[in-house]
Structure 1
Amino acid sequence: MVDVSQHNLVPEHTVLDEATLEDVLDEYDIDRTDLPKIKRTDPALPDDADVGDVIEITRDSRTTDTATVYRLVIE
Structure 2
Amino acid sequence: MVDVSQHELVPEHTLIDEEEVESMLNQYDVERADLPKIKRRDPAMPEGAEAGDVVKIVRDSRTTDRAVSYRLVIE
Q: What residue is the counterpart of 1:12 in the other structure?
A: 12
1:48 aligns with 2:55: no
TM-score (norm 2): 0.97
1:67 aligns with 2:61: no
> Alpha-carbon deviations, 1:33-74, whole Å to 9, x = none?
000000011000001111100000000001011000000000
Gap runs ≥5 in structure 2: none
Question: In 1, Cα distance between the equivalents of 2:5 and 2:49?
Answer: 13
Question: In 2, Cα distance between the equivalents of 1:41 and 1:18?
Answer: 21
Question: In 2, Cα distance between the equivalents of 1:6 and 1:46?
Answer: 11
- Give the residue type in structure 1 aligned to 2:22: E
Gap runs ≥5 in structure 1: none
Q: Percent same amino acid at aligned positions?
A: 67
Q: What residue is the counterpart of 1:37 in the other structure?
A: 37
- Give the residue type in structure 2 aligned to 1:27: Q
- Give the residue type in structure 1 aligned to 2:23: D
> Alpha-carbon deviations, 1:3-59, whole Å to 9, x = none?
000111100000010010110000011110000000011000001111100000000
